[in-house]
Amino acid sequence: MLAAIGRALGTAATVVVIGPLWLGEVLSASARVLVLTEGQERPRARRTVRRAAKTVAHGAATTGHGLTVALAGVDLPIADGAVDALLIEGASTLDVDAIARWMAALVPAIRPGGRLIAVDATDDPAAEAKLAGSFLAAALCDIGQVRPRAGVVLTMGTAPPAPVVATRFADTGTVGASATVRD
């Protein structure tokens, strides 16, 4: 699964992970990573950052690019067009309206040509179709899905040019401002 995620990220220099801390830690070996997590994860987040710093200090990860963990809650503290890739987890568990709201907050944060990657534990064709449809509805391009192992699907899309994002999300109030995601 990690190899498939690495291929999907390509040469992304800045990656935001809205998902597990361990995934951000692993990806920080090849890119600058910001993991957004909720407040209850603070103790684990501190341990993860310390462990990553020790690894770099001891020379075990001399190619490490850096790991930052931020507590985010429902606010997405990322400027429009600021990240090369955004990796999310568990989108298939949301209903269609919640996914649409989440996409309205996420897509503007990705630079044009950047990647949105959803990692989901599912082998349900209806859930996979729902994810692909949500990427299409969010004006993402080059949409694809791969199954790196049984029960896991990666849904990937490329962010469109800035004018398309501005037009598509003009009525959501998220373009040009810090986004808020509500379930």
Does the residue 11 lie in any domain? yes
Q: Are 169 and 178 in contact (CB under 8 A)?
A: no
CATH number at residue 31: 3.40.50.150
The whole-number pLDDT of residue 179 equals: 43
Give the structural domain span for 98. Answer: 2-73+80-170
The whole-number pLDDT of residue 46 equals: 80
Q: Cα–Cα–Cα angle for 126, 131, 137, nearest 5°? A: 120
Record the pTM.
0.83
The structural domain count of the chain equals 1
Does the residue 15 lie in any domain? yes
| Per-residue pLDDT reduced to its tens digit, 136-173 | 999 999 999 999 999 999 999 999 999 999 999 887 65
Is the pLDDT reported for residue 177 higher than 50? no
Does the residue 164 lie in any domain? yes
Does 163 or 183 have the greater pLDDT score?
A: 163
Is the pLDDT reported for residue 62 higher than 70? no
The Cβ of residue 86 has, within 10 Å, a number of other Cβ atoms equal to: 26
The whole-number pLDDT of residue 61 equals: 47
Does the residue 149 lie in any domain? yes
Q: Which residues are CB-contacts of 82 (< 8 A; sequence separation ≥ 6)?
A: 14, 109, 111
Does 147 or 174 have the greater pLDDT score?
A: 147
Does the residue 20 lie in any domain? yes
pLDDT band at 175 (very low <50, low <70, confident <90, very high): very low
Least confident of 25-34, 37-46, 110-119, 122-131: 37-46
Does the residue 176 lie in any domain? no
Pick the most confident of 26-35, 52-61, 94-103: 94-103
Q: What is the DSSP string of 53-114?
A: HHHHHTTTTTT---EEEEE-TTEE---TT-EEEEEEE-GGGS-HHHHHHHHHHHGGGEEEEE
Q: Which residue has the tokens 């692909």?
A: 132
Does the residue 177 lie in any domain? no
